[in-house]
């Protein structure tokens, strides 16, 4: 349930990002006065150049068309120059991003609980391990992390089996 909601809100956020009223396709930027330019490397390592124009307008110079998810880092990079001209757009984008973060947490929880439910019939000891982990964490004896609690599974102890 939450996984589907997460996908839906993420898609809505990305679609909203594509509708930024300050974004000008490069072919529509002709004749506009460039106020600033800067290079930007996206998380996927795509490099592009951003052109800032008057009145909160901007264009992106790139070899291929930006994907919706690639637009989000661009919008963050131009935010200080564009938001004051298009505050409603950024307000909605922030709201969608917050909802996306909330759904991500719930979707992860749903996935974890589903994995436990699906694995308990084959591994009944899983329930007691989870109960012990919760008790240890409640008592402050164990911190969140990726430990199984079984010292033998650590790489440095594998030869001692």
Q: Per the structure, how many domains does the chain have? A: 1
**pLDDT value of position 67:** 87
In a domain, 28, yes or no: yes
**pLDDT value of position 149:** 54
- Give the domain range for residue 81: 22-85
In a domain, 160, yes or no: no
The DSSP H or E segment spanning 136 is helix 125-138
In a domain, 56, yes or no: yes
Assign 50 to helix, strand or coil: strand
In a domain, 115, yes or no: no
**pLDDT value of position 42:** 92
Answer yes or no: are the C-beta atoms of 72 and 33 closer than 8 Å: no
In a domain, 36, yes or no: yes
Q: What is the mean pLDDT of the chain?
A: 89
Per-residue tokens: 10:
């993420």
> Using CA of residue 64, residue 69, residue 74, residue 79, what is the dihedral sign?
positive
Whole-prediction pTM value?
Answer: 0.76
pLDDT under 50: residue ranges of the chain? 151-155, 157-161
């Amino acid at each position: 349930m939450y996984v589907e909601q997460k996908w839906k809100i993420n898609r809505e956020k990305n679609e909203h990002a594509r509708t930024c009223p300050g974004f000008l396709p490069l072919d529509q930027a002709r004749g506009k006065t460039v106020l600033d330019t800067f290079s930007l490397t996206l998380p996927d390592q795509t490099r592009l150049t951003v052109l800032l124009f008057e009145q909160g307008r901007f264009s992106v110079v790139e070899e291929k068309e930006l994907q919706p998810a690639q637009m989000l880092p661009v919008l963050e990079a131009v935010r200080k120059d564009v938001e004051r001209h298009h505050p409603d757009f950024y307000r909605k984008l922030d709201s969608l991003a917050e909802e996306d973060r909330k759904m991500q947490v719930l979707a992860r929880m749903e996935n974890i609980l589903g994995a436990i439910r699906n694995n308990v019939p084959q591994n009944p000891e899983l329930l007691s391990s989870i109960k012990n982990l919760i008790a240890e964490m409640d008592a402050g004896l164990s911190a969140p992390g990726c430990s199984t609690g079984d010292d033998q599974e650590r790489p440095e102890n594998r030869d001692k089996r």
